[in-house]
Amino acid sequence: MSLNAESTAFRSALEVIRAVEPRVADAIGAELADQRESLKLIASENYASPATLLAMGNWFSDKYAEGTIGRRFYAGCQNVDTVEALAAEHAKELFGAAHAYVQPHSGIDANLVAFWAILADRVESPALKKAQVRQVNDLTEADWFALRRELGNQRMLGMSLDAGGHLTHGFRPNISGKMFDQRSYGTDPATGLIDYDTVAEAAREFKPLILVAGYSAYPRKVNFRIMREIADSVGATFMVDMAHFAGLVAGKVFTGDFDPVPHAHIVTTTTHKSLRGPRGGMVLCGPELADQVDRGCPMVLGGPLPHVMAAKAVALAEARRPDFAGYAQRIVDNAQALAEGLLRRGAKLVTGGTDNHLVLIDVSGYGLTGRQAEQALLDSGIVANRNAVPQDPNGAWYTSGIRIGTPALTTRGLGGTEMDTTAELIHTVLSQTTPGANADGTPSKAKYALDPALAETVSKQASDLLTNFPLYPAVDLG
């Protein structure tokens, strides 16, 4: 029997790899097998298409291409120019953006490019003006000191981590928290929702240079029109990190006040997650910031990854197809069906539901920490991640929440009926897991007890649920 193109491509690739390091080939095959058999509910993960995956494994990986299209520091970049231009063209058309910069290697790289572009554009200081008009080598140590002090002492206002914000929005463990004097806005303690009046009050008091919107664990829409009005009221640059929900913007599920691109000065995103592309980042902006953004390499980035930019071009072309809008809507429909199934079974959800691709379960209602729940679910074939909830008493390591998302299962074709079954499996595991104790008898935030037979049964049920929804059905590794 003849093999299709996808099976031939991946089998051939593994044969070539196996000839050099068979353990790597084995690990690649094992990863596909694991992903095929488990319920992937990581909200930030998805499955890229075979075309997108194959676009990363080619000779573009061999090429250095610092600089931008037509202005490279290396010769022989004409083909890199082609794929970078294609990726940028697709991004601009997909999101309605004036400018797209597709070089960032990740979401944090995209955010750093945006931060430094804003700083270079907005900060008015003698040291910065001197740096802009003189050669770098002419700056004195005193000039550099003044420049570092000015650029590193600006203010950023972003969503708090426990309310669903992201580490790269000015928090101390991340470089952004060392660059900026940061303050957070949270959510209403009673509802878990953003209180825009409270955000406006914080902005008036703090007067940030940058107001950041966007999230990694907030299960509702954000009104970007109101956030832009708040930014304008204090003269702040409004930045949106849409890494998690970019696919919902691309698929026109989020429109009007809930589409960040028309309202933000600058937008960053990853290209995987709900956008279903390769792991990487991207920056969208208007013409006023385009020149600064295009200095991302060498300002923040090293050499761009041409093979990944090629994959971004493929994935963005896929997202421009009409069927992507239906896919994006199904992500939200599935998340809401999953939330409803959990609520019917007595689970406690942050904000009481979802408007987007993710659901945040407060597992304290089951008497568990997030870490205990995460591992118990993994034992049972359900892959999720622990996450803080608002005012989390267990902190960011143990947490009191589990974050689940539907982009990956939606890619596989699961729908509302399967989401209800998934809710039943999750509830079964969490309701049958009990917290454990340390050796001295004190309560443990990590140890737990779950009947192995129950875990095995749920794992089998999860695998059976996926039988009719094969992952990469065109790929047969033999």
What kind and span of H or E run contains 436? strand 434-437
* Residue whose tokens read 């197809």: 321
Length of the chain: 478
What kind and span of H or E run contains 11? helix 5-20
pLDDT(134) > 70: no
Tokens representing 401 are 């929440």
Q: Which of 72, 221, 228, 279 is catalytic?
A: 279
Distances (CA, A) of 121 to 238, 299, 428, 437: 13, 14, 53, 55
CB under 8 Å to 405, separation ≥6 — which residues? 41, 42, 43, 44, 45, 335, 357, 358, 359
Whole-prediction pTM: 0.91
Which CATH number does 59-319 carry?
A: 3.40.640.10
Distances (CA, A) of 225 to 45, 184, 247, 345: 28, 19, 19, 36
**What is the distance in angstroms between the CA of the first residue and the CA of the last residue of the chain?**
12
CA 57 to chain centre: 23
Q: Which of 52, 268, 270, 406 is catalytic?
A: 270
Q: Which of 221, 273, 312, 403 is catalytic?
A: 273
Summarised one tens digit per residue, pLDDT across range 38-94 is 899 999 999 999 999 999 999 999 999 999 998 888 999 999 999 999 999 999 999
Summarised one tens digit per residue, pLDDT across range 253-294 is 999 999 999 999 999 999 999 999 999 999 999 999 998 899
pLDDT(131) > 60: no
Tokens representing 79 are 């083909």
Tokens representing 439 are 């050796």
Distances (CA, A) of 163 to 154, 176, 370, 460: 23, 18, 15, 35
Q: Which of 84, 109, 162, 241 is catalytic?
A: 241
| Residue 11 annotated to the active site | no
Which CATH number does 322-466 carry?
A: 3.90.1150.10
* Measured distance CA(53)–CA(314) in Å, rounded: 9
Nearest to 469 by CA among 39, 89, 143, 120: 39
Q: What is the pLDDT averaged over residues 156-182? A: 77
CB 202 within 8 A of CB 194: no
| pLDDT band of 136, cuts 50, 70, 90 | very low
CATH 3.40.640.10 maps onto the chain at 59-319
Q: Which of 37, 45, 66, 424 is catalytic?
A: 66
CB 181 within 8 A of CB 154: yes
Summarised one tens digit per residue, pLDDT across range 331-376 is 999 999 999 999 999 999 999 999 999 999 999 999 999 999 999 9
* Measured distance CA(80)–CA(57) in Å, rounded: 15
| Residue 36 annotated to the active site | no
Q: Give the count of beta carbons closer than 10 Å to the beta carbon of residue 145.
A: 11
| Residue 64 annotated to the active site | yes
Tokens representing 109 are 């790289």
Alpha helices in 152-195 (DSSP H): 175-179
| Residue 221 annotated to the active site | no
CATH 3.90.1150.10 maps onto the chain at 322-466
Q: Which of 64, 150, 257, 434 is catalytic?
A: 64
| pLDDT band of 306, cuts 50, 70, 90 | very high
* Measured distance CA(336)–CA(216) in Å, rounded: 17
